[in-house]
Structure 1
Amino acid sequence: MTVTWELVPGRGAREKAQESVLLEAEKAARGGKIQAVSVTDNPGGQPALMADSLACEIKALGIEPLVHFTCKDKNRSQIESQLYALERAGVRNLLVMSGDYPVSGFMGRPQPVFDLDPTHVLALIRDMNSGLEYPLPKGTGRLQPGHFFAGAAVSPFKQTEAELLGQYYKLKKKIDCGASFVVTQLGYDIRKFQEVLLYMKRRGIEVPVLGNVYILSYPVARLMKENRLPGCVVTDGLMAQLDRERSLPDKGVEARLLRAAKMYALLKGLGFSGAHIGGHLVTCEQVESVIEKGEELSASWETLIREFQYPLPGGFYFFQEDPYRKLNQSAPESRQGLSSDVSEKGLYGFSIFLHNLFFEPGRKGFALMRLFARKLKGTRLENFLHKLEHLLKTLLYDCRDCGDCALVDVAFLCPMSQCPKQQRNGPCGGSYQGWCEVYPGRRRCIYVRAYSRLKSRHQENLLEEIPVAPCNWDLNSSSAWLNFFLGKDHTAKRLGISELPDKPESSGSNSRSA
């Protein structure tokens, strides 16, 4: 089993938190039981020391760092620059994630960026590893190949069908974009752990998977239960167990270390490639004790299965339950009739009707609109059409006028305005019981809504099949309709719609034929 240990840099540059990380990493390097030290990037949305800096120091200690590489604070140019710096420093192991939505900063909440999502970053890393091509005034240049080993996260601990399938659909996209390994989010339901492996096997996805083993204390569990650490799932039953344990003489330390060791044993028995171990204020000695005890218990791992039955109430599972082993069967659960809460049915149906009439290549309406767009481009009517389009789409879809419209990709829901993280390829890992991470109890996750809309027409698999490019900000504040018909936006490029050249200026009486 490969073991990575997650450490949190904390706020500041030379505070106790940073010195503690380096001290524990040095112990891990000497011990030899831990293969990599994982360094987080502003967990919980709180400012902290940049992971890159500590990663370089950790590498110098003789152990591999694993940098959590998030999208929340950087645009694509800064992301590319950061990757160059990491490559130059020899820091090659990356766990690419959306990142927690920022909650605090200097003089208030900072502006989130989310210019790219993890699929885009993974594609960029893949291209850098192959020798990134870039434009020059004449032709293109090519960089020397990079050496990154990049992975992605998945959260199987979701309550609803729409949330869970959204995670799996996006996982497939991440793998297709170059993810070389997978780390699960945090939970304590053994069926969900096994479900990831079964789903990946079913889809023919063959990359190593590390299961998340968190040494859970009561205070941290309470934060997770309240969804203040998005994506981490702690149930009422587990909270009650932790509450009993904290009254013990050692405040429950031995109990939580043993629980982590049992999880390690279960993961090894199920066939995981490794364990991603974390915990607040956990020492290297404690992590090594978890590994040793976990190896000892792994020979009888099946006897531990019933201790990790912490399902969410009414939670959906992709596979049917094996009532004897308390794991999963290989047969999928029936999804007939589930996830049928489709809002705005009339608007959705109307949107599909108009799309099929005018925006489907090969239709007469498409040919007519493409001709109309060519004639309108560059005239005074272009600005009028843009304003009219923006007004209508703002009233109907809360349009942000990005000019590179992704409505058709997300069941006619705008990811730029209705997803705080502007995810164009699928959900982040932070939703909880169907609610958005940023607006719990107030706003449904856009991909929960999209899944339900698509499923009403038996098209939910479209959320996996359509890889959406990042927004092209060259098109911002321009007509998305014209950009599509003129072959400029991401949808036109995906469909192979050629870009129409600008109309040649009339040369009057001096014109001549070729």
Structure 2
Amino acid sequence: MSVLKTALQQQQFACVMEFVPKPSAERFAAMDAIMARRQLCGWPMTLAIGDRVSSPLDMSPLDALACFEHPVPALPHFSGKDRERHHLLAQMRRMDAAGQHQLLMLTGDRLPGHTPGKRPVRYLESVAALQIARQTYPHWWLGAALNPFKYREEEGAAQYLKAEKKLAAGADFFILQLGFDAAKHQEAMHWMRRQRAPKPMLACLMSLTQGRAGMLDHVAGVTVTPSMRQMLEAEAAQSKAFAQARSIDRLALQVIGVKLMGYAGVHLSGIHEPSQLLALEARLAHWQTQVATLEQWAPAWQASWQMPSLPAVTFHPPQAAWREGESRVVASFAQKARYHAMHGMHGLLFSRRNPVSQLFGWAVRQPMWATGLGAQVLHSVERAVKRPLLGCDTCGRCRLEDTLYTCPETCPKGLANGPCGGTTLNRCEFGDRECIHSAKYRTAKAVRQTDVLAQRLIPCVEQHNRHRSSWPGWFGGKVQPVTQPSAPRSRRES
């Protein structure tokens, strides 16, 4: 049994050390030395190995594991960037052969070079990946991500609704995205405790300095507010050593805080040298003797973010401060009217019950549409009708009924089950639009269909089914097979 699985099942606080694999012998040797300690303050340690963090050409998690001098307990990641079902299954087969039976599922941040409107890039989203993995390897220990650090109702509520899908799809534990807002850490824990079958959660933490705050500008979905930056700048102005010591002290306090909140462990990012781990361990030992309750912890945490002559730090953006449970937004008249119009049209043509739907179904099931030429014509007709209305990309299996008539293909990542973690104040990670899932949430709330966003698990669209009409299949008719694409050239599968 794995170190992480054992710790979580035995309710023992766990430390997961993040490792982004790069072809550097020094980097591997340093992490080897860190993992040789096996524990942090008596808490068991395991290694999380990132996947496609920078590029599709990054070393794979399994290749990285093979580069360590000594065997290390590991939690490999799987990122859905530019991936299909067969990539996930290939990685899992390799892992199974190596005796690795735990995996963290991530949709993944924007792939470098992915520009909307150019070559489409497919992302195997985490809900679908969880479904595939759970069906293929029922006994595996599977993790998922949650980003509670959202400050508009639409994006925040949509995160929690999607997390419910991840629970239903088979997630055994959650790891939060990196964040510093203690109120949001508590909010996420309260949400999990309300679930029918709560799962353990780990908080992703990092010691934050001015330099790292600048680096996080390029990490989607991480919030570092202006007042936080101002304080970090004041620390750096005193000295680099002073700023570094303060950042390690805050990290130790944050670890203590999330442990007191009920988190099952921490996912520590940015610790690359044994000296950094030893410094953290020393501050953890100090604070464990000083702080035993959240009431004792809160003022110490607040003080760690204060500097003389500076105003108090706030962790929410100046523009918004939504908390889970607050209800403020409403859909526009146009959004509601569009939903009702599309719902009425769908019922008329696709209910399979009324005469119009039955006639339409009969028409698209005719043998002529199952021929090569007929299939092309029908595909062109469906695309010509639906693309101007919905942004449809004729994916071969229409999911509009499950997405409140918001086409998933209008998301740059093609996500159907809910948002990724990269939104900021409802803006898409790509920056050129509002997140479609925020707009979808407003509509769902207005028409009292938010349960759809939490309960309907939408499988991935298979690569070989794309770019053909969905109509014959909807009515149970014969579908013209699409020629399977030639086997891809050799590439890293994981």
Q: The TM-score by the shorter chain falls in which range? A: 0.7 to 0.9
CA distance in 2, matches of 1:164, 1:233: 13
Gap change, CA 1:45 and 1:463, over 3 Å in 2: farther
Correspondence for 1:317: 323
Distance 1:153 1:406 in 2: 24
Residues 404, 290 of structure 1: CA spacing in aligned structure 2 closer, same or farther, 3 A cutoff? farther
With over 3 angstroms needed to count, the CA separation of the structure-2 counterparts of 1:14 and 1:169, relative to structure 1, is: same
Q: 1:311, 1:341 → 2: CA distance?
A: 26
Contact kept, 8 Å, 1:211 with 1:276, in 2: the verdict is: yes
1:381, CA displacement in angstroms? 6.0
Asked if residue 211 in structure 1 is aligned to residue 203 in structure 2, the reply is: yes
Aligned ranges 1:390-469 → 2 under 5 Å: 390-416=383-409, 418-438=410-430, 440=431, 442-469=432-459
Contact 1:25 1:61 in 2 (8 A): no
Partner of 2:65: 55
- Which secondary structure state, in structure 2, belongs to the residue aligned with residue 437 of structure 1? coil
In structure 2, what is the Cα distance between the partners aligned to 1:280 and 1:341?
47
1:27-71 per-residue CA deviation (whole Å, 9 max, x = no partner) reads: 44698644211121232557532222223455x735411112111
Kindly state the Cα deviation for residue 5 of structure 1 after the two structures are TM-superposed: 1.4
1:467 offset after TM fit, Å?
A: 1.0
Do residues 158 (structure 1) and 150 (structure 2) align? yes
User: Do the aligned partners of residues 28 and 236 (structure 1) sit closer, same or farther apart at CA in structure 2, a change above 3 Å counting?
Assistant: farther
Hey, what does 2:32 align to over in structure 1?
Answer: 22
1:167 is the counterpart of 2:150? no
Aligned to 1:353: 344
Shift of 1:343: 5.7
Describe how 1:173-252 pairs up with structure 2 within 5 A.
173-224=165-216, 226=217, 228-249=218-239, 250-252=241-243
Distance 1:92 1:287, change over 3 A: farther
In the alignment, the residues of structure 2 paired with residue 450 and residue 488 of structure 1 have an alpha-carbon distance, to the nearest angstrom, of 32
1:278 aligned partner: 269
Q: Secondary structure at the match of 1:247?
A: helix
| Residues 341/62 of structure 1: CA separation in 2 closer, same or farther (3 Å cut) | farther
Q: 1:343 to 1:94 in 2, by over 3 A?
A: farther
In structure 1, which of residues 67, 74, 92 is the aligned counterpart of residue 76 of structure 2? Answer: 67
Aligned equivalent of 1:144: none
SS in 2 for 1:210: strand
Amino acid at match of 2:381: L
Residues 385 and 7 of structure 1: CA distance in aligned 2, closer, same or farther (over 3 Å): closer
Identity of aligned residues (%): 25
Cα separation, partners in 2 of 1:110 and 1:52, compared to 1, 3 Å: farther
CA contact (8 A) 2:51 2:77 kept: yes
Q: Normalization by structure 2: what TM-score? A: 0.82
Q: CA deviation at 1:468?
A: 0.6
Partner of 2:15: 3
Secondary structure of 2:292's aligned partner: helix
| Corresponding residue SS for 1:268 | helix
Contact residue 28 and residue 67 of structure 2 kept, 8 A: no
- The Cα of 1:408 is off from its aligned counterpart by 2.4
Distance 1:245 1:47, change over 3 A: farther
Larger RCO of the pair (alpha carbons < 8 Å, separation 6+): 2
Is residue 79–residue 105 contact of structure 2 (8 Å, CA) maintained in 1? yes
Alignment of 1:80 with 2:89, yes or no, is: yes
- Is structure 2 residue 126 aligned with structure 1 residue 118? yes
CA drift of 1:151 comes to 0.6
> Structure 1 CA distance, aligned partners of 2:253 and 2:34?
23
Q: Distance in 2 between matches of 1:301 and 1:462?
A: 36
Structure 2 residue aligned with 1:40 = 50
Secondary structure (helix, strand or coil) at the match of 1:67 reads strand
Deviation at 1:341, TM superposition (A): 4.9
Matching residue's letter, 2:257: L
Q: Among residues 238, 254, 264, which one is paired with 2:255 in the alignment?
A: 264
Rounded Cα–Cα distance in structure 1 between residues aligned with 2:376 and 2:58:
45
Equivalent position amino acid for 1:85 in 2: R
Alignment gaps of 5+ in structure 2? 1-12, 303-313, 480-494
Query: How many Å apart are 1:365 and its aligned residue?
Result: 3.1
Deviations 1:349-392 (A, max 9, x none): 32122012122243343333222233364377665443222112
Contact 1:104 1:110 in 2 (8 A): no
**Structure 1 pair 91–204 and aligned structure 2 pair: CA distance change class (3 A):** same
| 1:486 CA displacement | 2.2
Q: Which residue of 2 aligns with 1:288?
A: 281
Q: C-alpha deviations, 1:55-104, integer Å up to 9, x for none?
A: 3455x735411112111143211210111111111223321111122215
**How many Å separate the matches in 1 of 2:457 and 2:232?**
42
Which amino acid in the other structure matches residue 47 of structure 2? Answer: V
SS at match of 2:238: coil
Aligned partners of 2:332, 2:242: CA distance in 1, in Å?
44
Aligned length: 446
What's the CA shift for 1:255? 0.5
TM-score by length of 1: 0.79
Give the aligned partner of residue 305 of structure 2: none
